[in-house]
């Protein structure tokens, strides 16, 4: 007890020494809070080893893994850095563990400085090559898999690499244009078409470099923190504040804002689409093709957003429900207008459960698509907020009222989500019983049960999966398969993610109150458990193998847990007692044999 108390005191004293006083480093118009970043790094270095499922420690081995991931994120396609740059940065690799715990994080600034220089060099090189003219009509070949090439040894090799990249881009654009012209019955002038293809490629790369030039030093710190987290496993991530906000929006399927889809184009923020039923739609004056020039709160000064990053502009436009935002916009005819919109909740409809009735051979079947296992965790504490279980239940009830004779549950491309909803949705199709087992690193096991003996639907059931069905969707598919409640249909196997994550708000984990003066620290998504099927098997690596395997365009795709860096190994556990159905899937072997005929 005394030792643990002493350790805590030492840690607190170290944090005080580490973080006082506050230092701020300039980076153009933006600023980096150096002490804030030291605090985040220290918290990752101390907390991850204690909470992560694996027994990994922050040591030289993990530091090298973090560096490799950071370098991949920095220049994955090997279009900017030279071999000498990568060698120079690698000198920091084994220092990462000590840097984190001592508060001397040096790799992100070094990576940032080199990338700024190399991006500028590549930008000028691309401009020169396109201005001089590239003849893309001649044959050429290049390796497009970044894993199979090395960083260029010198500028001459890098120039040749860019020359081939641009030729390939112009050729692809030419073929697209040729197809468009032929479909529209237009005559084709070969020289003019090649020039148009080159012009489009030039514009595309101009936009590309503009986006790269907007990256900040803080972006590099965030990239570095995420690399450290991902060195533990691919589903452990550091989420900077804006990434955490995006994650929350995805999980609950809604946000608070004006309800307009925006994009960045030629330095301007342009409206692409107004979401039906949103605050913008009700106000009526903001329309597609409008360009937003400035943003102001109700009585505040307008902030110019021309040449601003899209995500920064969006941060200004979004805001709490009931507050007013004033947009200065330029209409397509050149006129300007100031539009006041009262923000409201925006429902992201593509997030939610969809259902339909399918008719075939005088029979009616229900089709339910669950894109993700969403849940508004904050509102659910008060019994409010939307969740995928309730929406699926409502869909089943409506389909039953329409006299369907079977249900197709589509979990394709469902990457997972709320574990609670995976268990509860499985429970809609079984009487009651265990759904999945979860086990932590100490071997403590818990069985998650469906305790509600209400069976919402007991008829014929088919579950559709593919290579992109992962995590919670694999729990549902596996449980319904083990219970012999449904026939699972799809490609060779699902993604193969058999781990459970939790979200840790770093702002709530600060031991000293005075340290909470820092801006939002973001959050940590950490793997804390593995899950196992009720029969004891694991979906980790292996995924769920369908009962009926169909040919798939994805079958040769190198996608899945087994291809991810530092993924946790497969293992298995003891089965739990469960009562499989004897009459829900018919003669399954006959069905399988017929599908192969």
Give me the pLDDT at residue 188, please. 82
Which one of 16-25, 192-201, 315-324 scores highest in mean pLDDT?
315-324
What count of other Cβ atoms lies within 10 Å of the Cβ of residue 209? 17
Is the pLDDT reported for residue 517 higher than 70? Answer: no
- Confidence (pLDDT) at 27: 42
Is pLDDT at 447 greater than 60 in this prediction?
Answer: yes
Would you place residue 514 in the very low, low, confident or very high pLDDT band (cuts 50, 70, 90)? low
* Shared-domain flag, residues 36 and 109: yes
Contact 45, 234 (CB under 8 A): no
Separation CA 241–CA 266 (nearest Å): 27
Taking the C-alpha atoms of residue 52 and residue 49, their distance in angstroms, rounded to an integer, is 6
Phi-psi bin for 110: left (phi > 0), alpha (psi -120 to 50), beta?
A: alpha
Q: Which of these ranges, 271-275, 520-524, 567-571, 586-590, has the smallest mean pLDDT?
A: 586-590
The vertex-196 CA angle with 190 and 199, nearest 5°, equals: 145
Whether residue 221 lies inside any domain: the answer is: yes
| Residues pairing with 505 in the sheet | 523
Instruction: Give 415's strand partners.
Output: none
Distance CA 424, CA 409 (A): 15
Buried b (16+ CB within 10 A) or exposed e, 531-568: bbbbbebbbbbbbbbbbebeeeeeeeeeebbeebebbb
Kindly state whether residues 364 and 511 are assigned to the same domain: yes
% residues pLDDT > 90 (the chain): 73
Q: Which residues of 384-407 are buried (b: 16+ CB within 10 A; e: fewer)?
A: ebbbbbebbbebbeebeeeebebb
Of all residues in the chain, the percent with pLDDT exceeding 70 is 93
Query: CA–CA separation, 189 vs 177, rounded Å?
Result: 11
* Cβ–Cβ under 8 Å, residues 345 and 337: no
Give residue 597's pLDDT. Answer: 62
Residue 379: phi and psi, rounded to 5, are: -75, -25
Provide the pLDDT for residue 593. Answer: 77
- Within a domain: 252: no
The tokens describing 594, both together, are 């017929």
Domain final residue, candidates 216, 232, 248: 232
pLDDT of residue 30: 52
Contacts of 209 (CB under 8 A, 6+ apart): 119, 122, 123, 126
- Given a contact cutoff of 8 angstroms between Cβ atoms, the answer to whether 581 and 486 are in contact is no
Report the C-alpha gap between 180 and 176 in whole angstroms: 6
Question: So what's the pLDDT on residue 592?
Answer: 78
CB 529 within 8 A of CB 440: yes
Check whether residue 505 and residue 581 sit in a common domain.
Answer: yes
In a shared domain, residues 465 and 506:
yes
Q: What's the pLDDT score for residue 186?
A: 84
Q: Please indicate, yes or no, whether residues 549 and 519 belong to a single structural domain of this protein.
A: yes
Higher pLDDT, 165 or 593: 165
Is pLDDT above 60 for 26? no
Whether 262 has a pLDDT exceeding 80, the answer reads yes
pLDDT band per the 50, 70, 90 thresholds, residue 19: very low
Confidence of residue 284 (pLDDT cuts 50, 70, 90): very high
In a domain? residue 301:
yes
Whether residue 61 lies inside any domain: the answer is yes
List the catalytic residues.
471, 482, 497
Q: In DSSP terms, which residues pair with 344 in a beta bridge?
A: 257
pLDDT tens for each residue of 63-83: 999 999 999 999 999 999 999
Q: Is residue 249 domain-resident?
A: no
| CATH number of the structural domain spanning residue 342 | 2.30.42.10
- The H or E element spanning position 488 is strand 487-490
Residue 139 lies inside a defined structural domain of this protein: yes
Range scoring the smallest mean pLDDT among 28-32, 70-74, 189-193: 28-32
Is pLDDT at 33 greater than 90 in this prediction? Answer: no
509 has pLDDT over 80: no
Q: For 38-47, 380-389, 464-473, which range has the lowest pLDDT when averaged over its residues?
A: 380-389
Instruction: Give me the pLDDT at residue 8, please.
Output: 40
Helix extents (H) in 133-189 = 155-183
Burial of 132 (0-12, 13-18, 19+ CB in 10 A): exposed
Helix (H/G/I), strand (E/B), else coil: 217: helix
Lowest mean pLDDT among 9-18, 106-115, 542-551: 9-18
Does one domain contain both 222 and 292?
A: no
Q: Is the predicted pLDDT of residue 444 greater than 80, yes or no?
A: yes
Give the integer Cα–Cα distance in Å for 278 and 556: 42
User: What's the pLDDT at 134?
Assistant: 79
pLDDT tens digits for range 142-190: 888 899 999 999 999 999 999 999 999 999 898 999 998 888 888 888 8
pLDDT for the residue 595: 73
DSSP H helices, 457-554, are: 472-482
pLDDT given at position 511: 60
State the pLDDT at residue 474. 98
CA distance to 256, 341, 376, 444, 520, per residue, from 321 (Å): 6, 11, 16, 43, 21
Co-location of 339 and 354 in the same domain: no
Mean pLDDT of the chain: 90
Mean local confidence (pLDDT), 558-569: 92
Q: Are residues 391 and 284 in the same domain?
A: no
Three-state SS letters, 491-534? CCCCCCCCEEEEEEEHHHHCCCHHHHHCCCCCEEEEEEEEEECC
- Position 512 scores a pLDDT of 55
Q: Which domain holds residue 182?
A: 1-232
pLDDT at 435: 98
Q: 344-347 and 303-304 as β-strands: parallel, antiparallel, unpaired?
A: unpaired
Q: Residue 351: what are its φ and ψ, rounded to 5°?
A: -75, -30
Q: Are residues 556 and 526 in the same domain?
A: yes
Higher pLDDT, 24 or 240: 240
Integer Cα distance of 59 and 45 in angstroms: 10
Task: Please write the tens of the pLDDT for every residue from 89-138.
Answer: 999 999 999 999 888 899 999 999 999 999 999 999 999 999 887 777 77
Please tell me whether residues 363 and 482 are part of one structural domain.
yes
DSSP string, 104-140: ---HHHHHHHHHHHHHHHHHHHHHHHHHH---TTS--
In the chain, how many domains are there? 3
Task: Say how many C-beta atoms besides its own lie within 10 A of residue 579's C-beta.
Answer: 11
Contact in structure between 294 and 304 (CB atoms under 8 Å):
yes
The C-alpha R_g of the chain, in whole angstroms, comes to 27
Q: How high is the pLDDT of residue 6?
A: 46
Could you tell me if residue 500 is inside a domain? yes
Q: Which residues make beta-bridge pairs with 375?
A: 387
Q: Domain end: 347, 365, 398, which one?
A: 347
Tell me the pLDDT tens digit for each residue of 364-406. 999 999 999 999 988 888 878 899 999 999 999 999 999 999 9
Q: What's the pLDDT at 515?
A: 54
pLDDT tens figures, 2-13: 454 444 444 444
- Does residue 246 form part of some domain? no
**pLDDT value at 244 more than 80:** yes
Residues 46 and 146 grouped into a single domain: yes
Amino acid 381: pLDDT: 81
User: Which pLDDT value is given to residue 14?
Assistant: 46
Return the sign of the alpha-carbon dihedral for residues 549, 554, 556, 560. negative
Tell whether the model's pLDDT for residue 16 goes beyond 50. Answer: no
Tell me: do 383 and 513 sit in the same domain: yes
pTM: 0.88
Last residue of a domain, one of 185, 216, 232: 232
User: 222: part of which helix (H) or strand (E)?
Assistant: helix 217-230
Largest CA distance in the chain: 86
């Amino acid at each position: 007890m005394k030792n643990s108390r002493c350790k805590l005191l030492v840690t607190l004293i170290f944090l005080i020494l580490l973080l006082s006083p506050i230092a701020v480093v300039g980076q153009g118009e933006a600023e980096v809070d150096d002490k804030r970043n030291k605090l985040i790094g220290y918290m990752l270095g101390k907390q991850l080893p204690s909470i992560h499922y694996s027994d990994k420690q922050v040591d030289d081995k993990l530091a090298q893994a973090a560096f490799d991931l950071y370098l991949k994120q920095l220049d994955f396609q090997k279009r900017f850095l030279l071999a000498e740059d990568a060698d120079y940065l690698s000198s920091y690799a084994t220092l990462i563990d000590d840097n984190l715990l001592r508060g001397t994080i040096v790799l992100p600034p070094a990576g940032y400085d080199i990338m700024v220089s190399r991006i500028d060099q590549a930008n000028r090189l691309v401009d020169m090559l396109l201005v001089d003219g590239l003849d893309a009509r001649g044959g050429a070949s290049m390796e497009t898999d970044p894993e199979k090439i090395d960083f260029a040894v010198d500028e001459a090799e890098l120039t040749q690499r860019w020359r081939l990249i641009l030729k390939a881009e112009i050729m692809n654009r030419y073929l697209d244009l040729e197809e468009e012209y032929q479909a529209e019955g237009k005559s084709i002038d070969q020289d003019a078409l090649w020039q148009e293809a080159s012009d489009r490629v030039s514009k595309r790369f101009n936009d590309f470099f503009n986006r790269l030039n907007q990256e900040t030093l803080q972006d590099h710190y965030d990239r570095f923190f995420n690399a450290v987290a991902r060195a533990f496993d691919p589903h452990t991530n550091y989420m900077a504040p804006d990434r955490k906000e995006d994650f929350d929006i995805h999980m609950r399927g809604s946000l608070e804002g004006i309800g307009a889809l925006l994009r960045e184009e030629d330095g301007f923020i342009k409206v692409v689409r107004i979401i039906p039923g949103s605050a913008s739609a009700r106000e009526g004056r903001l329309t597609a093709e409008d360009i937003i020039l400035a943003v102001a709160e109700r009585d505040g000064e307008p902030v110019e957003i021309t040449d601003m990053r899209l995500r920064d502009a969006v941060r200004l436009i979004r805001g709490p429900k009931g507050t007013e935002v004033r947009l200065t916009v330029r209409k397509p005819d050149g006129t300007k207008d100031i539009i006041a919109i009262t923000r409201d909740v925006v429902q992201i409809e593509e997030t939610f459960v969809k259902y339909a009735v399918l008719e075939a051979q005088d029979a009616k079947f229900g089709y339910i698509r669950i894109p993700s296992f969403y849940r508004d965790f904050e509102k659910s504490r008060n019994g409010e907020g939307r969740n995928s279980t309730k929406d699926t239940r409502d869909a089943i009830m409506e389909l039953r009222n329409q006299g369907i004779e079977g249900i197709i549950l589509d979990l394709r491309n469902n990457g997972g989500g709320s574990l609670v909803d995976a268990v509860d949705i499985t429970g809609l199709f079984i009487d009651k019983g265990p759904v999945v087992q979860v086990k932590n690193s100490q071997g403590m096991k818990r069985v998650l049960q469906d305790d509600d003996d209400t069976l919402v639907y007991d008829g014929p059931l088919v579950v559709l999966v593919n290579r992109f069905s992962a995590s919670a969707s694999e729990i549902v598919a596996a449980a319904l398969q083990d219970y012999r409640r449904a026939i699972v249909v799809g490609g060779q196997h699902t993604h193969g993610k058999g781990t459970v994550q939790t979200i840790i708000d770093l702002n709530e984990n600060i031991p000293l109150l005075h340290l909470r003066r820092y801006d939002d620290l973001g959050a940590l998504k950490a793997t804390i458990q593995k899950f196992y099927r009720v029969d004891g098997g694991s979906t980790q690596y292996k995924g769920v193998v369908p009962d009926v395997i169909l040919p798939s365009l994805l079958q040769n795709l190198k996608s899945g847990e087994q291809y991810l860096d530092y993924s946790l190994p497969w293992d298995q556990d003891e089965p739990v007692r469960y009562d499989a159905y004897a009459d829900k899937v018919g003669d399954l072997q006959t069905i399988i044999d017929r599908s192969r005929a």
